Amino acid sequence: MGEEEAIKGEDTVEEIRRMSGYGGDVIAVGGFPASESEIGSGSESESESDLAAAEIMIVWAIQGPTSFAPNALVSQSSLELRLDACGHSLSILQSPCSLSTPGVTGSVMWDSGVVLGKFLEHSVDSKDLSFEGKKIIELGSGCGLVGCIAALLGGNVVLTDLPDRLRLLKKNIQTNLHRGDTRGSASVEELVWGDDPDPDLIEPFPDYVLGSDVIYSEEAVHHLIKTLLQLSGDQTTIFLAGELRNDAVLEYFLESALKDFAIGRVEQTQWHPEYRSRRVVLYVLEKKSKRWLADDSSLNQSC
C-alpha cells in the first residue's frame, strides 16, 4: 500500500489508495498509514468512530440505497438461479422455504453475492486480481456462488458456513464444479464465527478471504471480526460485499474493524459493468501490520 491521490468534490475530499492484494484503486475509509501530506500538516488523525460515521454519510448520499428495490439481480422465490460466469453456465440451487426460519438467510442468493462473484471475474479479466493457485476462504458461503466462481478463476477455495447450511452448499459445488475443467478446487468445511478455526484454514494463512451479506447484525459483527483476524496474515486480502439495509449495523462494523484493518471502498466503476447495484457496497480489508500500529501510536502521542 502507499499510493494516494485526492479526489476533490464539492463537500468531501476522498483519498485513493492501493491494497497489496488488489490492483485497482480504492477509496480510503481509514486505517492506512498516514500519507506524507498528513504527516507534514501535523493534523490529528480521526477516530474510528468519526471515520465510520463519515463513510456511512458518504455511501448513503452517493448511492441512495433506499430509493432502489432490493434483489434486482436475483429471484429468491425461485428454486434455481442461473448465471453465466467464467465461460460456464452456473446453476445455483436455492431453498426459498427456509427464509421463513428466523436467522436463516443463506439458503437463497442475495444481490451482494452476485455482485461480488462477477466483480472477482471482472477483476481477473482486467488483471487487477489473480486467483491462480491462491488459497481462498469464503465465509458464510450460503448457496456457494462466490466460492464456485473463485474456484473457476483458479483459486483453491474452502467454502465455509454453519453446520446446518452445508448440505445445500455441497450440492451446489457438486452440480457446478464436477466437469473436470475447473482451474482451481473447492471443498466445504464447517466454520462458526468466533470459534477457533481448524489448523488447515490458517496453516498457512489464506491469500484471500471472501464474504457477501455477512454484515447483518451488531451481534454477529464481534464474532465476524474475530474470525477475520484469526484468518488474516500479513499478506491476506479480504473482499466483503454487503447489502445496504441498516446504516447502524454497517457503521458499527466499520468502527470495530478499523481498529485492526485498513479498509478501502471499491467504486462501482470498477465492478462488472452489467452487475451493479445501488443497494450493495464492496470493501477491501487488509490487516494493519505491527509497523503501522507503532507508527499510528507515535503519531497520536506527538499530536
- Grid cell in block for residue 72: 434486482
| pLDDT recorded at residue 95 | 83
- Grid cell in block for residue 148: 464456485
| pLDDT recorded at residue 79 | 84
Residue given cell 452440480 in the structure block: 175
Of 80, 109, 83, 105, the C-alpha closest to 93 is 80
Instruction: Compute the Cα dihedral for 76, 227, 244, 103 and give only its sign.
Output: positive
Instruction: Compute the Cα dihedral for 120, 121, 122, 128 and give only its sign.
Output: positive
Of 199, 185, 170, the C-alpha closest to 134 is 185
Of 20, 27, 74, 96, the C-alpha closest to 55 is 27
Cβ–Cβ under 8 Å, residues 112 and 215: no
Q: How many residues does the chain have?
A: 303
| pLDDT recorded at residue 1 | 44
Query: pLDDT per position in the chain (303 positions), as tens?
Result: 444 343 334 455 689 999 999 999 999 999 998 865 555 555 567 899 999 999 999 999 999 998 998 889 998 788 899 999 999 999 999 987 766 554 545 588 999 999 999 999 999 999 999 999 999 999 999 999 999 999 999 999 999 999 988 999 999 999 999 877 789 999 999 999 999 999 999 999 999 999 999 999 999 999 999 999 999 999 999 999 999 999 999 999 999 999 999 999 999 999 999 999 999 999 999 999 754 554 444 444 444
Global model pTM greater than 0.85? yes
CB atoms near residue 153 (< 10 Å)? 25
| pLDDT recorded at residue 294 | 44
Q: What are phi and psi of 239, to 5 degrees?
A: -115, 125
CB atoms near residue 235 (< 10 Å)? 14
Give domain 68-244+274-287's CATH architecture. 3-Layer(aba) Sandwich (3.40)
Which residues are bridge partners to 93 per DSSP?
80
| pLDDT recorded at residue 117 | 98
| pLDDT recorded at residue 290 | 52
* CA angle 7–8–13, rounded 5-degree value: 80
- Rounded distance, CA 132 to CA 185, Å? 10
In the chain, what are the domain boundaries? Answer: 68-244+274-287
